């Protein structure tokens, strides 16, 4: 999810007020309605509406001032970490990442597979339900030629998928000294951290700049 870890800037004060932790959705339309932002110093979480965002690019989200940040105790409009089940309660994993086209969500990526957003039938507190219009065999070894032809496709590349995603820890100290279980690269394919490498503070800062903090979290050796 490209929005994760983007730095949030207060334009009036010219300072960083946090970074994006999650995306808020309108579950009826699956459109992005805002962002969940964390203040790294206080570790408090805030919600900012999409309409209050002045500018957004690969690294930054700019707001007019910090008054548009609304304190929130729960991410009620988030999909991250929820289980994905079909109408027969078959388990398709937990949500790790979302893909968007403009403001509309197009795909859910779990620790087991990819699911097109158009097949989401209902969203509960802990579960995302998908409804398959036709019973189709799920591909076990490769992606279909076109994702629109299948409801679900297995991600063979995720060899280190986690079974119980946790909430992203808000302190950089959480990561330091831990072992990374996969190679992580930045925007221009530059190395952020390699498999079996010890995570340092510099690695965490680089992961933030390249919006890879979420990937780093799930790549930590448990």
Q: pLDDT tens for residues 86-107?
A: 988 999 999 998 999 888 999 9
**pLDDT value for 140:** 45
Per DSSP, helices labelled H in the chain are: 201-209, 213-219
Residue 163 lies in a domain: no
Strands of 69-119, DSSP E:
70-71, 83-85, 91-101, 104-110, 113-116
Question: Do the domain assignments include residue 52?
Answer: yes
**CA atoms of 114 and 99, how far apart (whole Å):** 10
| Domain around 201 | 172-219
Residues 62 and 103 in one domain: no
Q: Total domain count for the chain? A: 3
- pLDDT of 53-97, one tens digit each? 999 988 999 999 999 999 998 899 999 999 999 988 999 999 998
Which is it for strands 45-49 and 31-38: parallel, antiparallel or unpaired? antiparallel
60 and 87 together in one domain: no
Q: 41-55, 145-159, 166-180: which has the highest mean pLDDT?
A: 41-55
The reported pLDDT for the residue numbered 37 is: 94
Residue 114 lies in a domain: yes
């Amino acid at each position: 999810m490209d929005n994760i870890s983007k730095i949030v800037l207060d334009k009036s004060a010219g300072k960083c007020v946090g970074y994006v932790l999650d995306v808020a959705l309108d579950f009826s339309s699956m459109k992005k309605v805002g962002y969940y932002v964390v203040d790294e110093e206080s570790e408090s979480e805030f919600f900012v509406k999409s309409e209050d965002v002045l500018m957004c690019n690969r690294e930054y989200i700019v707001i007019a001032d910090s008054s548009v940040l609304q304190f929130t105790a729960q991410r009620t409009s988030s999909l991250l970490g929820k289980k994905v089940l079909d109408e027969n309660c078959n388990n398709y994993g937990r949500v790790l990442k979302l893909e968007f086209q403009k403001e509309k969500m197009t795909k859910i990526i779990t620790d087991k597979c990819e699911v097109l957003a158009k097949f989401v039938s209902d969203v509960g507190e802990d579960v995302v339900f998908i409804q398959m219009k036709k019973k189709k065999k799920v591909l076990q070894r490769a992606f279909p030629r076109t994702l629109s032809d299948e409801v679900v496709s297995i991600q063979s590349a995720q060899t280190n998928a986690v079974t119980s995603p946790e909430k992203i820890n808000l302190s950089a100290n959480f990561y330091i000294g831990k072992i990374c279980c996969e190679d992580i690269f930045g925007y221009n394919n530059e190395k952020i951290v390699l498999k079996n490498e010890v995570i340092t503070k510099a690695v965490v800062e680089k992961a933030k700049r390249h919006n890879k903090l979420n990937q780093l979290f799930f790549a930590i050796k448990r």
